[in-house]
Amino acid sequence: MAGSAVSDVRNQSSAVAAWRQVHSGRKRAFPRGFWSGDGGRAAAVEILRYLVAGGLDPLTLTDHEARRLRLRGAVEAWGGLWSLVDAAFPGQYHPWQMPKPRRLWKGILGLWGPKAVRWLVEERLGLGLEEVPRRLRLREFRENGLGGLAKACNNRLFSLVELGYPGVFRPWEFGDLKEWWRDDALCREAVLEVCLRRGVTGGADAWRVRRSDFTSPGLRAMLAGRFGGSVEQALEFVLGERVSVLDSSRFNTEAGRAGARARWRVAP
């Protein structure tokens, strides 16, 4: 008998009329079993869509607000607020846009973290990959509901970017990963990148490298912290030779560059 009454309410009003009666106080509660099974989940979706069409922002829905709207059973039918919102509006929202998403990142960075980073970079901020190192800032995670994710990554921008784009960027492109240059392999890779960018493959060409080529905050930190500010020491670390770098800015002609090469010293 109860099952028949539930079916009648759903069919007559697509569940909305039942919700309106309970929410207005004309009825104390929903019929027994109203939220159970597939029918209960379908009713929850229909009611939420009705409320959103009437002006409710689903991204403001909290557990407290759901109880006030008499939607506690709807939330329980779907196992949580986010699941209910996603069922009603598939693909339109993301879980980190919901209020208080801190628990979202606990122990499951691999599930939502990469998608959240790519959403922020590509959809929210519209950045191309080449723009990420110079334009992405930690505050943008906090301002877009991803403060919990940032905290889970120890508020380190490189760690966040690496989560979304593994292997695409290097630590020295960002300034917030402290003392990464203590890792010999990373340090060697960074100096080698500077060398290759200037077309340097050996000591005879090392005059091309200038202090200004260590452009990013991370590279400048490496040069100061690992090599005492010495470009020569940085090149020695990679080239395996004792070298002395001339200021190439003084040699802006082919003759000048030839002279620089002639004066190049490679110590034994």
pLDDT at position 131: 93
* Segments making up each domain of the chain, as ranges: 2-92, 103-169, 180-267
Between CA 43 and CA 7 the distance in angstroms is 11
Indicate left, alpha or beta for 116 from its phi (over 0: left) and psi (-120 to 50: alpha). alpha
Single out the residue of 155, 128, 130, 154 nearest to residue 140, CA to CA: 155
Single out the residue of 19, 44, 48 nearest to residue 31, CA to CA: 19
Question: Residue 249 carries which DSSP code?
Answer: G
5, pLDDT greater than 50: no
pLDDT at position 244: 58
Question: Residue 55 carries which DSSP code?
Answer: T
Among 74-78, 94-98, 137-141, whose mean pLDDT is lowest? 94-98
Indicate left, alpha or beta for 55 from its phi (over 0: left) and psi (-120 to 50: alpha). left
Residue-wise pLDDT for 59-80, tens only, equals: 888 889 999 999 999 999 998 8
Beta-strand (E) ranges in the chain?
Answer: 242-243, 266-267
Residue-wise pLDDT for 9-30, tens only, equals: 444 467 899 999 999 999 888 9
Q: Cα separations (Å) of 99 from 13, 62, 74, 87?
A: 30, 6, 18, 17
Residue-wise pLDDT for 222-263, tens only, equals: 999 899 988 888 888 888 766 655 444 433 344 434 433 433
Cβ neighbours for 254, distance < 8 A, ≥ 6 positions apart:
none
Between CA 252 and CA 200 the distance in angstroms is 17
51, pLDDT greater than 90: yes
Between CA 49 and CA 90 the distance in angstroms is 12
The one-letter amino acid code at 9 reads V
Q: Under a CB-based contact definition with an 8 Å cutoff, are residues 218 and 175 in contact?
A: yes
